[in-house]
Amino acid sequence: MPMTIKRRHLIVGAVFLAVTLAVGGVTNIAAWAADRFITVASTTSTRNSGLYDHILPIFTKAMGIKVRVVAVGTGQAIKLARNGDADVLFVHHKPSEQKFVADGYGIKRFDVMYNDFVMVGPKPDPAKVRGMTNITAALGRIAASAAPFASRGDDSGTHKKERGLWKAAGTDPATHSGSWYRETGSGMGATLNTAAAMGAYALTDRGTWLKFANKAGMEILVEGDKRLFNPYGAILVNPAKHPHIKDKDGKAFIDWLISKSGQDAIAAYTLKGQQAFFANARPVN
* pLDDT tens track for 107-133: 999 999 999 999 999 999 999 999 999
Is the full-model pTM beyond 0.85?
A: no
Determine the Cα–Cα distance for residues 51 and 208; give it in Å rounded to an integer.
Answer: 10
pLDDT tier, 213 (very low <50, low <70, confident <90, very high otherwise): confident
85 pLDDT higher than 70: yes
pLDDT above 70: residue 3: no
| DSSP three-state, residue 175 | helix
Q: Are 161 and 73 in contact (CB under 8 A)?
A: no
Percent of the chain surpassing pLDDT 70? 87
Percent of the chain exceeding pLDDT 90 equals 81
Residue 148 · residue 240 · CB < 8 Å: no
Q: Please give the average per-residue pLDDT across 40-48, as a whole number.
A: 92
Farthest CA pair distance, the chain = 96
pLDDT at 187: 87
* Fold of the CATH domain 31-114+236-279: D-Maltodextrin-Binding Protein; domain 2 (3.40.190)
Q: What angle do CA 127, 151, 49 make, to 5 degrees?
A: 105
Q: For residues 72-93, give the mean pLDDT.
A: 96
Q: For the chain, give the mean pLDDT.
A: 89
pLDDT band at 216 (very low <50, low <70, confident <90, very high): confident
In the DSSP assignment, the letter for residue 92 is S
Give the model's pLDDT for residue 173: 95
The yes-or-no verdict on residue 18 having pLDDT over 70 is: no
Range with the lowest mean pLDDT among 14-28, 66-80, 247-261? 14-28
Which residue did the predictor score with more confidence, 126 or 2?
126
Query: Looking at residue 259, what is its pLDDT?
Result: 97
pLDDT for 21? 38
Q: Which residues of 214-241 are buried (b: 16+ CB within 10 A; e: fewer)?
A: eeeebebbbbebeebebbbbbbbbbbee
* Closest of 113, 63, 80, 72 to residue 250, by C-alpha: 63
Helices 51-63 & 260-267 angle (0-180, nearest 10): 150
**pLDDT band for position 283 (50/70/90)?**
low
Q: What is the DSSP letter of 269?
A: -
Categorize the per-residue pLDDT at 214 as very low, low, confident or very high, splitting at 50, 70 and 90.
confident
116-228 belongs to which CATH class?
A: alpha beta
List the chain domain ranges. 31-114+236-279, 116-228
Q: What is the pLDDT of residue 285?
A: 47
Beta carbons of 70 and 77 less than 8 angstroms apart: yes
Q: For position 101, what pLDDT does the model report?
A: 98
Spell out a b/e string for 41-62, using b for 16 or more CB atoms within 10 Å of the CB, else e: bbbbbbbbbbbbebbbebbbee
Residue predicted with more confidence, 28 or 235: 235
Neighbouring residues of 66: CB distance < 8 A, sequence distance ≥ 6: 34, 36, 37, 38, 60
Q: Assess whether the region 31-114+236-279 and the region 116-228 belong to the same CATH fold.
A: yes
d(CA 254, CA 224): 30
Report the run of H or E that residue 166 belongs to, with start and end.
helix 157-168
- pLDDT of 27 > 50? The answer is no
